[in-house]
Amino acid sequence: MWLINSSIGRKLIMSISGMFLILFLLFHASMNIVVLFSADAYNAICEFLGANWYALIGTAILAGGFTIHILYATLLTFLNLRARGKQKYAVVDSQKDVSWASRNMYVLGLIIVGFLLLHFYQFWSKMQFVELTGLGDHSLAADGAYWVNHWFSQPVYCILYIVWLSAIWFHLTHGVWSALQTIGISNGTWLPRIKCIANIVATIVVLMFAAVPVKYLFFG
């Protein structure tokens, strides 16, 4: 199958599935901002996105796209390492003009996935999972503001969260423009523009996410 067997096809799947991560981050970052202004409004959103059919379908679609992205990233990394073989040191030397983020996308991705798993344990397992299974404290299943305050009141977690955001910024700055380039926006005129767009998108996402830990670190 062309999408699986060709390098262009695999990159296309990587690009499309990567969009799921971008959509998830943009939505989640927008939702996080609400908690800074109104705990009640934030909890209303959490309740709306609880164990409802539309929320479950959305979660499944995003999780599926993200899973495909991770699997293909692992496959492409393995294929690239195998193709380099004994030439890997020469390849590294020839990539001095390639950005640091580009050379370390997989490592950045692992950092992002690792923290997302922690994040799911701290929030999803205490909220939507509880509503679905009935296991855990049901009284706090829709109280997202409580969990935000619980975790972000811990300075160490805030610092780790900001480190995670740094990994996301580097991953997105390369990933967004690479995805747009893969789908055909790659001529000399548009390449600088899509790189600028990637930087803007990554910065907006990170600043929106960072607002919460910064607030708790410096303003309580």
Which tokens hold the place of 70?
Answer: 């991770």
| pLDDT value, residue 169 | 92
**Which range, of 28-42, 160-174, 176-190, averages the lowest pLDDT?**
176-190
Which tokens hold the place of 141?
Answer: 């299943």
- Residue recorded with tokens 């927008």: 30
Give percent above pLDDT 70 in the chain: 87
Cβ 19 vs Cβ 65: under 8 Å = yes
- Averaged pLDDT for residues 69-73: 82
Q: What is the DSSP string of 30-43?
A: HHHHHHTT-HHHHH
- Spatial CB neighbours of 61, under 8 Å, sequence gap ≥ 6: 20
- Domain residue limits, the chain: 2-219
- pTM of the full structure: 0.82
**Residue 34 pLDDT greater than 70, yes or no:** yes
Confidence of residue 91 (pLDDT cuts 50, 70, 90): very low
Each residue's pLDDT tens digit, 169-194: 998 888 887 777 777 666 667 778 88
Element (H, E) at 101: helix 100-103
Q: Which residue has the higher pLDDT, 207 or 51?
A: 207
Is 2-219 a CATH 1.20.1300 domain?
yes
Q: Which residue has the higher pLDDT, 71 or 93?
A: 71
Confidence of residue 16 (pLDDT cuts 50, 70, 90): confident
| pLDDT value, residue 107 | 85
Each residue's pLDDT tens digit, 96-136: 556 777 777 888 888 888 888 888 889 989 998 999 888 88
| pLDDT value, residue 3 | 59
Alpha carbon distance 144, 149 (integer Å): 9
| pLDDT value, residue 44 | 94
Confidence of residue 89 (pLDDT cuts 50, 70, 90): very low
- Residue recorded with tokens 């299974």: 133
- Residue recorded with tokens 């509503």: 131
